[in-house]
A and B are shown apart, each in its own frame.
Chain A
Amino acid sequence: MDAPRMNSRKFIWPPKFPKWGYQNRINFKIGMLFLLPWTIGFIVFTLYPMVASLIYSFTIYHARQPLEWNGIKNYTDLLTDDLFWTALYNTIYMVIIGVPLTLFSSFFCAVLLNLKVRGQAYYRLIYFLPSIVPTVASTILWLWILNPQAGILNILLGYVGIDGPNWMTNPAWSKPGLILLGMWGMGNTIVIYLSGLQDVPTSLIEAAELDGANWWQRLWNITIPMVSPITLFNLVTGVIFMFQYFAQAYVFRGFQNLGYPLNSTLFYSVLLYQNAFQWLKLGYASAMAWVLFIIILVCTLALLKISDRFTYYAG
């Protein structure tokens, strides 16, 4: 057998796979057998639809007639479509305001829940319970809470002298209303942060205490960096989720038009659904889907790249 050649970095084409020995072939067969559910699923439910939707995105869909090829016109039409930009704006609003706000609040709550006070178990329960209320139920509940006349939020605000806005009919306040709804259900993010906080070595904290650091300095210099991987995780998942925001917006508008009021709740996914199932422009909607995919991909990669400088991995 030749000694391995360390300087053979030439690019070999066509790529030669190493010859599989008998054991490798057996292992491969067994592996594939175990993977069968995923493989079939991948081909039928992932690969085929991806290819199909890519093709659709270049066509105009007709119900009982063959597909009509449209080239890249679907994509260029998107650029001139006012609704597309409105939807993009609304979605980015939620991503830029909703996600960081939720992250910050859940971290704050996790810190609260990590304090040494009696009855923590009960508090943790209370903070977590809303996150398991089913989405539709919590959205409808918040519709009731945000009702400008009889809703309890405006009533409570009234007690402290604030004139509550029309959460559901004023386009400027519908998205904040949805953000509040999202924050009510951030229990699982709190729990993830909480477990991260508990993993922060107490020795570090105590050492800082002895050195005379007050609680703010401890928080800023030790705790926050130590949980930065969790922050990154929550941030990325939050962003990906927010770009696909659909169910809450769909339920929130009641029986009014999608996007009510005044297209302020017309999020990207909602517009996509509208194009696909209300106007039957399936080709156009497919183009929207691929644009969304690319946006999410770019944002995630960008986040991961930037995060390298801010996250600290302990060991």
Chain B
Amino acid sequence: MTINTEIQISNEATEARQRMRNRKVRNFFQSFFSHALINFVGLFFLVPFLWMLITAFKSNQDIFHTPPRWLPYDNVLAEINGEQLPMYNVQTEKGVKQLAAVKILEGVGTFVDPSNPSQVLEYEIQQGDKKIAEPIMHISFRWQNFPDAMNRASRPSIDASFWVYFKNSLIIAFFTIVGTLVSNTPVAYAFARLKFPGRDVLFVIVLATMMLPYQVTMIPLYLFFNNFLHWGDTFLPIIVPAFFANAYDVFLLRQFFRTIPEEMCDAARVDGASEWQIFTQLVIPLSTPVLATVTVFTFLWAWNDFTGPLLFLTSPKHFTMALGLQDFQSQRTLVWNQLMAAATIFTIPIVVAFFFAQKTFIQGIKLTGSKE
């Protein structure tokens, strides 16, 4: 090889290395930029979540602390004579002392020196602008908020607490799921695999009902359930309609049933099986994925449902969690920490269900958005 080509080759090699380095740098920046962007946008989704959790752990005094702190603070407590008393920094004649507050009434606090529990001192909490006594706070996660929130009702009421609301939500969700599965599957199967005159016309009608806003049927149904059937303040107006099929689930299930090979059903028909037998013994067992999807979605919908309970449930002891939370927030007793604690507990079952059924969740959403 001549010297020129060697130089040429080595020049090309350097250029190639340079290009590769440029590309690596560009890739690095691209990757860095992508990561940064995804993280930044992700913060929008993540931070409210974290904020909900953190507020749930804050103590009452800490909620409106300005500026708001990320970590929850709570009173430092001292044990005196078997009682847990909050500690205060009190400005006394002899300088600032740390005393435990026994009782505070109408602006005057009764304090006790932990080192000398028998001596009782009284100080005004605030004189004009000057704070004489200030509570001592430290970082502390107030787990107590959770049982406090759950044992409380949205109104300090009788027979009602968030535990009761939780139970009510579970009951409604359970029966709604049962009703949905039992009623939608035969209907969807009929539209998917049975041939009968008028099938397609009826299916169009089914789809058309999806376009009907619930406001149109809401008022007569309300009067019907409340005044005619006397089902007011029970779960029935919410549960019973679930036993009569709905357009969304029929559509979803039909899409899935159509993927079951026609030949299998035909073979069974030739063997003399009735349609019902084909349905229950052949199609249903094959449909467990979509049935799981419908279960998960129905649970999510029933757990979330607010308008139904709002219309029909009047006694607090029948409230569902959704209604109870809204009621809690509207009762002018806005203790944000307990409210957030209750909201967290409200969210937990869904998150748990999601983790167990991730694939079915995503699959179901994709099915609803499928182009067919």
* Chain A directly contacts chain B within the complex, with at least one CB pair under 8 Å: yes
B-contacting residues of A (Cβ < 8 Å)?
20, 24, 27-28, 30-32, 34-38, 40-42, 44-46, 48-50, 52-53, 56, 108-109, 112-113, 115, 117, 123, 126-127, 129-130, 132-137, 140-145, 149-150, 152, 155, 184, 187-188, 191-192, 195-196, 229-230, 233-234, 240, 243-244, 246-247, 250-251, 254-255, 269, 272, 276-277, 282, 285-286, 288-290, 292-293, 296-297, 300, 313
The one of A35, A45, A144, A292 that contacts B241, using a Cβ cutoff of 8 Å: A45
Contact A34 B307 (CB under 8 A): no
Contact B241 A251 (CB under 8 A): no
Contact B196 A24 (CB under 8 A): yes
What residues of B have a CB within 8 angstroms of the CB of A129 in the complex? 45, 49, 351, 354
The one of A27, A137, A191, A282 that contacts B219, using a Cβ cutoff of 8 Å: A282
Contact B244 A134 (CB under 8 A): no
What residues of A have a CB within 8 angstroms of the CB of B189 in the complex? 34
Contact B332 A140 (CB under 8 A): no
Q: Can you sample 13 A-B contacts with CB below 8 Å? A: A31-B190, A53-B219, A127-B45, A130-B49, A137-B325, A141-B343, A144-B340, A149-B66, A191-B362, A191-B366, A240-B213, A247-B307, A277-B311
Least CB distance from A254 to B in Å reads 6
What residues of A have a CB within 8 angstroms of the CB of B35 in the complex? 117
**Residue in chain A with minimal CB distance to B182:** A37
Contact B221 A133 (CB under 8 A): no
The one of A37, A46, A126, A234 that contacts B183, using a Cβ cutoff of 8 Å: A37
Which of B186, B243, B343 has the most CB atoms of chain A within a 10 A radius of its CB? Answer: B343
Known A34-B187, A117-B38, A195-B362; further 12 A-B contacts with Cβ < 8 A: A38-B187, A40-B244, A41-B246, A49-B216, A50-B217, A132-B300, A133-B350, A134-B304, A136-B323, A141-B48, A255-B331, A293-B216
Say yes or no: is B125 at the interface (Cβ < 8 Å to chain A): no
Say yes or no: is B202 at the interface (Cβ < 8 Å to chain A): yes
Contact B51 A145 (CB under 8 A): yes
Q: How many angstroms from the CA of A150 to the CA of B54 in the assembled complex?
A: 14
Contact B304 A35 (CB under 8 A): no
Contact A115 B307 (CB under 8 A): no
Least CB distance from B354 to A in Å reads 6
Question: With A126-B46, A152-B68 given, is the CB distance from A140 to B325 under 8 Å?
Answer: yes
A-contacting residues of B (Cβ < 8 Å)?
31, 34-35, 37-38, 41-42, 44-49, 51-52, 55, 63-64, 66-68, 182-184, 186-187, 189-190, 194-199, 202, 205-206, 209, 211-224, 241, 243-246, 250, 275, 279, 300, 303-304, 306-307, 310-311, 321-323, 325-326, 329-332, 334, 336, 339-340, 343, 346-347, 350-351, 354, 362, 365-366, 368-369, 371
Please report whether the interface of chain B is mostly helix, strand, loop or mixed according to DSSP: helix
Contact B369 A196 (CB under 8 A): yes
Question: With A41-B241, A115-B38 given, is the CB distance from A246 to B307 under 8 Å?
Answer: yes
Q: How many angstroms from the CA of A56 to the CA of B218 in the assembled complex?
A: 12
**Residue in chain A with minimal CB distance to B169:** A134
Question: With A31-B199, A244-B214 given, is the CB distance from A132 to B307 under 8 Å?
Answer: no
The one of B194, B197, B369 that contacts A230, using a Cβ cutoff of 8 Å: B369
Contact A285 B366 (CB under 8 A): no
Contact B322 A140 (CB under 8 A): no
Question: With A133-B347, A184-B44 given, is the CB distance from A35 to B202 under 8 Å?
Answer: yes
Question: With A144-B55, A184-B48 given, is the CB distance from A112 to B34 under 8 Å?
Answer: yes
Contact B306 A49 (CB under 8 A): no
**Residue in chain A with minimal CB distance to B198:** A28
Contact B365 A191 (CB under 8 A): yes
Least CB distance from A134 to B in Å reads 5
Q: List the 7 closest A-B pairs by CB distance, nearest first.
A: A41-B244, A31-B196, A49-B217, A52-B220, A192-B369, A34-B190, A37-B183
Question: With A38-B206, A188-B365, A229-B371 given, is the CB distance from A155 to B67 under 8 Å?
Answer: yes
Contact B34 A136 (CB under 8 A): no
Contact B217 A53 (CB under 8 A): yes
Q: How many angstroms from the CA of A130 to the CA of B47 in the assembled complex?
A: 10
Q: How many angstroms from the CA of A145 to the CA of B323 in the assembled complex?
A: 21
Q: How many angstroms from the CA of A117 to the CA of B186 in the assembled complex?
A: 44
The one of B66, B184, B198, B216 that contacts A289, using a Cβ cutoff of 8 Å: B216
Least CB distance from B340 to A in Å reads 7
Q: How many angstroms from the CA of A150 to the CA of B198 in the assembled complex?
A: 61
What residues of A have a CB within 8 angstroms of the CB of B195 in the complex? 27
What residues of A have a CB within 8 angstroms of the CB of B371 in the complex? 229-230, 313
Least CB distance from B86 to A in Å reads 22
Q: How many angstroms from the CA of A135 to the CA of B307 in the assembled complex?
A: 11
Contact A45 B244 (CB under 8 A): yes
Contact A117 B190 (CB under 8 A): no
What residues of A have a CB within 8 angstroms of the CB of B365 in the complex? 188, 191-192, 195
The one of B190, B213, B275, B334 that contacts A293, using a Cβ cutoff of 8 Å: B213
What residues of B have a CB within 8 angstroms of the CB of A142 in the complex? 48
Q: How many angstroms from the CA of A27 to the CA of B274 in the assembled complex?
A: 11
Contact B347 A137 (CB under 8 A): yes
Q: How many angstroms from the CA of A113 to the CA of B38 in the assembled complex?
A: 7
Contact A300 B211 (CB under 8 A): yes
Contact A150 B64 (CB under 8 A): yes
Which of A134, A286, A297 has the most CB atoms of chain B within a 10 A radius of its CB? Answer: A134
What residues of A have a CB within 8 angstroms of the CB of B34 in the complex? 112, 115, 117
